[in-house]
Amino acid sequence: MQALKRILILYKNSPSPAETARSLRLWLCARGVETEMFSADVELMPLRASAAASDAVLVLGGDGTLVGAARRLNGIRTPLAGMNFGRVGFLAELPAPGDGDWETPLSSLIEGRWAREGHLTLSWRILRREGAAWTTLGEGVAVNDVVTAHGVVARAVSLDLSIDGFLFSSLRCDGVIVSTPLGSTAYTASAGGPLTMPSMNAQIVTPICPFAGGFPPLALPASSVIRVESRRRDDQVLLSVDGHDNLPLAFGDVLEIRGCPDQLHMLVSDPNWYLRRLRDRGIVTSGPGHRQY
């Protein structure tokens, strides 16, 4: 990486990140770095234009703020880095002021000493048959996961899961999670799915509490086309994208998902950041006699 000359600062719209953003802008300008600053919920067009013209995007907030920014900037290859104002902060490498030394790693970042990593995202769309044709009802991008699950009624739903045109399983379950490697530490891990190195171009499919038709969590190539179809008229099925956007999936509707490699770019200072953060955030625990390295 070359030294950074222009950084876009995005901050969660709350007092502490906003105040820190103003301080960081002065700190960066004093070191010759041009900056622009927006709230993370700014309108899409100025956000994308500023990101495209920047060397990096620095996101101040929790993991949700960073994931939301990544979705809104989909297709723009400017890399992201995070300063953690959340509870877990798995994706954010810089500590917030008061939580640790941020000046040393941020100096290293603007000097171009962090590495750039490309990660897979998921492209999804909802299809409905109208006569002989299929109509697209909605589409988008997921950074962590796409979840098809029961709605407000806490009962199992019937789903058909097809992979590359092959009917793989007919399930009666609470739902199905399709996640990226980067999102494997979220809902997928809670549902018993595998922790997956984020450098892998894989889609991870995990059934949620299957009553019938279950299977172990499944890793698929990015190129695989996954289809989930609602199979009972009286089921209330909802689609959730990165924990948001609860969209109904009616009887006969098809959710289609495929992987898109190298779409999300992040800046990291440590090549072992993922393994180290699994341990430091308590997702992986060590037994007696563990030594620190």
Choosing from 55, 63, 174, 253, which is the catalytic residue?
63
Nearest to 267 by CA among 40, 21, 14, 8: 8
Does residue 293 lie within any of the structural domains? Answer: no
- Indicate if 148 and 256 belong to the same structural domain: yes
Question: Which of 198, 192, 97, 209 lies closest to 144 in space, CA to CA?
Answer: 198
Amino acid 281: pLDDT: 84
8 A C-beta contact, residue 142 and residue 229: no
CATH classification of the domain holding 129: 2.60.200.30
Has 280 been annotated as catalytic?
A: no
Q: Is it the case that residue 291 has pLDDT exceeding 70?
A: no
| 251 in a structural domain | yes
Please indicate, yes or no, whether residues 91 and 125 belong to a single structural domain of this protein: no
Q: Do 192 and 81 fall within a single domain?
A: no
The per-residue pLDDT for 245 is 76
Residue 288 lies in a domain: no
8: nearest Cα among 31, 38, 28: 38
- What does the block give as tokens for 292? 């620190």
Residue 214 has pLDDT above 90, yes or no: no
pLDDT of res. 194:
95
Residues 64-113 have pLDDT tens digits of 999 999 999 998 999 999 999 988 889 999 999 988 999 999 999 999 99
Mean pLDDT value across residues 155-159? 90
Note the pLDDT of residue 286. 75
Condensed to tens digits (0 to 9), the pLDDT of residues 222-248 reads 999 999 999 988 888 999 999 987 899
CATH code at 81? 3.40.50.10330
pLDDT at position 282 is: 84
Residues 64 and 137 in one domain: no
287 lies in a domain? no
Q: Considering the domain boundaries, does residue 290 fall inside one?
A: no
Asked if residue 163 is part of any domain, the answer here is: yes
Sign of CA dihedral 83, 71, 64, 256: negative
Q: Are 125 and 259 in a shared domain?
A: yes
- Same structural domain for residues 133 and 235? yes
Number of DSSP helices (H) and strands (E) in the chain, helices first: 6, 17
Q: What percent of the chain has pLDDT over 70?
A: 97
Q: Are residues 132 and 243 in the same domain?
A: yes
* pLDDT of res. 211: 86
What pLDDT is recorded for position 46? 95
Check whether 262 has a pLDDT greater than 90: yes
For residues 212 and 192, which has the higher predicted lDDT (pLDDT)?
A: 192
**105-144 pLDDT tens trace:** 999 999 999 999 999 999 999 999 888 889 999 999 999 9
pLDDT at 285: 82
Residue 41 has pLDDT above 70, yes or no: yes
- 135 and 228 part of one domain: yes
Token duo for residue 59: 């996101």
Tell whether 140 is covered by a domain.
yes
Which one is predicted more confidently, 132 or 168? 168
Domain co-membership, 148 together with 193: yes
Average of per-residue pLDDT across 253-272: 95
* Start-to-end Cα distance in the chain: 27
The answer to whether residue 291 is domain-embedded is: no
pLDDT exceeds cutoff 70 at 153: no
Q: What is the pLDDT of residue 39?
A: 95
Q: Are residues 126 and 254 in the same domain?
A: yes
| Residue 125 domain boundaries | 120-263
**102 and 130 inside one domain:** no
124 and 259, same domain (yes or no)? yes
Structural domains of the chain, count:
2
